[in-house]
Structure 1
Amino acid sequence: MRFIPVAVLLLGSFTVLPAFAADAKAWLDRLASAEHTQSYRGRFVYERNGSFSTHSIWHQVAAEGAVQERLLQLDGDAQEVVRSNGVTRCASGELADPVVAGQAWSERGLNPEQLAKSYELRLMGESRMAGRSAVILGLAPRDQHRFGVELHLDSETAIPLKSLLVNDRGQMLERFQFTDFTTDAAAVTAGLAPSDNCKPVDALESDKVVTQSWHSDWLPTGFNLTSVTRRRSPVSDDTVECLVYDDGLARFSVFLEALHGATVEDARSQLGPTVAVSRKLVTSDGGMMVTVVGEIPLGTAERVALSVRPGAEKAVQ
């Protein structure tokens, strides 16, 4: 389940005492390991761009560390996904399309030391969510190139019971909030079995890892290249190179596809926290379409798109 970056910019600036900063890091350490150690069942609300949806989730961690999960959308078109150790086993509705083998259900593990370089960690008090006590943990961005996060962590398990994400103007971009939550083992086990509508999913081979042939002359401080892959374009027979960058919390991807002389227009859009910026890059062989997609500010995505160049030189931060 994706806890990050469903989350809120912490407005204002103040000095964090060392003891409180240490406590904040301790909670972040607990959060980093919670999903791989804690079983739970819950119902949550997801809000994005003014629309709402409700979901149930069952998350079971076996004694040997194996993780079984089931997610069920409760309103609108039926949507169901069942995964085992991050691999989709069956799905219903639009989610029944083939998926990449080994695709993780949640974001990769958090690194508190890495995050502290780009975010100021703050303990902001206590709250009550889904009938349970929670500790409020804030991650305030140290620059304008990422969003801030506010997490209400369950006092017992460190699982986020609520998370918010807002831009630098204090506007909420995304909200995730449990309305019901339990760690009762029987309740977790009872809901793990897929329904008859959950169809087995044929996994595809993972994208091919390739040598980097493009780079960005500029990247926001703290963002590092984490993977370079090549995949087949969904609209043509060409391949698309994909460069993925993250700062340990936020993530964005840069896609590059040959145009072969096709006429295209630059474009930019935003849906909630997710932005997409496309621009034509003139080259000697007909041009390339560069598209930056991720949960970063629009201006940051535009600057990255403008900085893309051939070759694998290291970007300036």
Structure 2
Amino acid sequence: MSVMTWPNDQPLFDRFVVLEWRGMQIGRPAGIAAQIFFGVLLALNLTTGLAATAEKEREAARWLERMMTAVRALNYQGTFIYLHDNQLESIRVVHAVEDGQIREHLISLNGAPREVIRDKRSITCVRPESQQISIDKRPPSNKFLDLLPQDLDKLTPHYAFRTLGTARIAGHQSKVVAIIPRDDYRYGYRFYLDQESALPLKSDLMDEQGQALEQTMFTSLEIGVAEWNIDESNKQRGITIRKSDLPRSEIESDRPQWHFESLPAGFVVTSRSRVPDTANGGVIDHYVLSDGLASLSIFIEAAGEGGALEGASRLGAINAWGGRRADHQITAVGEVPAITLLSVVEAMRYNAAESP
């Protein structure tokens, strides 16, 4: 048996065989010693790269943790713009924290005059042009800037965290931090955090292609200030006050009529409730599903004669789907990709044998 050998005086780097890899020419040494050398070098590079990526993840997580503290603990006021579905709104906000409780006052600066007042007990909407005030006594789900769960580790199986440099927003220097989904079942976020306070100066909701679906950006901001001047004279000006205090019967102890199989990874049912259907005299079952950041709602009611949503619909970042399952009208809606809604609907199963 003959063995091919290289001349001893031939330089190591002359012993390359050329390979094609994804359209690029790379060299590979044919000698065993060289293969070992480059294998070790590759392992070292991979280890260094993984360590650098892990450190970027930790740095981004630290910034996000600071952001969560800032939005829940700081007083601030200013004006921000909200871009969504090719519409631009300008809104004045006052965010006050007293004894750990958050109050917010938002005033629309363009279009029809509107005000929203939120605290731990209710949401009050004021519409001066229509001479009406509506008060929803249900606890508000505060999503303005306060988006993330307390435990970021719960998000890491489905999202990656990255720092993306710096930018200047509303006269403040900011750190750019991204939350990047690991699959197509959820949207991503990009936050521009004030370098000193970590308060979000700008936030972008990103679709599956990395394009902004919604953007919120401060144009002016005062941190540490919250001038709370709420006009309490509306009742004396003949404005009608409408209160919404819909009773909800928790059904956690009851056997649910529906369950879900093979949900998109990370999504679980976080709440179930039942509300009266005042229009038809029945009830509406409401399921909320979430992965800790993204969420969607499923509404289930007795199928009617028509007028309900059929098929898919979209408004900006919000997708919706309507249709019938097991003689029930199903409506799914959420700030998630359409594929997520459809996958959740396909995972629904009716517990016919357990129904009364």
For the criterion TM > 0.5, the same-fold answer is yes
1:75 match: 110
Alignment partner of 1:92 is 2:127: yes
- Give the 3-state SS of the residue equivalent to 1:145 in structure 2: coil
Give how far 1:69 is off.
1.4
Matches within 5 A, 1:42-57: 42-57=78-93
Instruction: Indicate the residue corresponding to 1:22 in structure 2.
Output: 58
Partner of 1:7: none
Q: Deviations for 1:171-194, whole angstroms, at most 9, x for unmatched residues? A: 321111110111143xx22x4423
The alignment covers a number of residue pairs equal to: 291
Aligned-pair identity in percent equals 27
Deviation at 1:264, TM superposition (A): 6.2
Q: Is 1:122 matched with 2:158?
A: no
Match of residue 5 from structure 1 = none
**Could you tell me whether the CA contact under 8 Å between 2:105 and 2:117 is conserved in 1?**
yes
Q: Which runs of 5+ in 2 are unaligned?
A: 1-48
Q: 1:273 aligns with which of 317, 324, 331?
A: 317
1:213-224 equivalence runs, <5 A: 213-224=257-268
Whole-Å separation in 2 of the counterparts to 1:241 and 1:70 = 31
Q: Which runs of 5+ in 1 are unaligned?
A: 1-13, 313-317
CA distance, structure 1, for counterparts of residue 242 and residue 75 of structure 2: 24
Partner of 1:6: none
TM-score, normalization by structure 2 = 0.75
Structure 2 distance, partners of 1:265, 1:181, is: 41
Partner Cα separation in structure 1 for residue 158 and residue 164 of structure 2: 18
Higher relative contact order (CA 8 A, sep 6+): 1
* Stretch deviating more after TM superposition (196-205 or 73-82): 196-205
2:271 counterpart of 1:227:
yes
Does the C-alpha gap of structure 1 residues 173 and 263 become closer, same or farther in structure 2, counting only changes over 3 Å? closer
Asked whether the 8 Å contact 2:118–2:140 carries over to 1, the reply is no
The DSSP-based 3-state class of the residue aligned with 1:69 is strand
Aligned positions of 1:261-300 closer than 5 A: 266-281=310-325, 283=326, 287-300=327-340
CA distance in 2 between counterparts of 1:265 and 1:74 reads 32
Specify the alignment match of 1:103 in structure 2: 140
SS of match in other structure, 2:301: strand
* 1:206 Cα deviation after fit: 5.1
- Alignment RMSD: 2.5
Structure 1 letter corresponding to 2:53: L
Match in the other structure for 2:44: none
Separation (CA, whole Å) in 2 of partners of 1:40 and 1:204? 30
User: Residues 31-58 of structure 1: CA distance to partner in whole angstroms, max 9, x if unpaired?
Assistant: 2222221110010000111111100000
For 2:245, the equivalent position in structure 1 comes to 204
- Most deviating of 35-44 and 264-273: 264-273
What code does the residue aligned with 1:45 have?
A: I
Flag the 1:91–1:249 CA change in 2: closer, same or farther, 3 A: same
Q: Distance in 2 between matches of 1:209 and 1:99?
A: 18
**Whole-Å Cα distance in 2 between the matches of residues 163 and 117 of structure 1?**
22
Q: Which digits, 9 at most, give the CA deviation of each residue in 1:239-276, with x for residues without a partner?
A: 11011011111110111111156686732100111001
CA offset digits 1:217-243 (Å, max 9, x no partner):
231111121100111236422211011
CA drift of 1:202 comes to 3.0
Q: Give the Cα–Cα distance (whole angstroms) in 1 for the partners of residues 138 and 310 of structure 2.
A: 33
**Alpha carbons of structure 1 residues 264 and 174: separation in structure 2 relative to 1, 3 Å:** closer
Q: Single out whichever of 152-161 and 35-44 deviates more from structure 2.
A: 152-161
Q: From the two aligned structures, give the one with the greater helix fraction.
A: 2
CA distance in 1, matches of 2:307, 2:122: 39
Q: 1:38 to 1:311 in 2, by over 3 A?
A: farther
Aligned equivalents of 2:218, 2:318: Cα separation in 1: 22
Structure-2 change in CA distance of 1:157 and 1:201 (3 Å): farther
Does the 8 Å contact 1:91/1:201 carry over to 2? no
Q: CA deviation at 1:195?
A: 6.6
The correspondence for 2:230, drawn from 193, 209, 212, is 193
Bigger CA radius of gyration:
2
Match of 1:255 in 2: 299
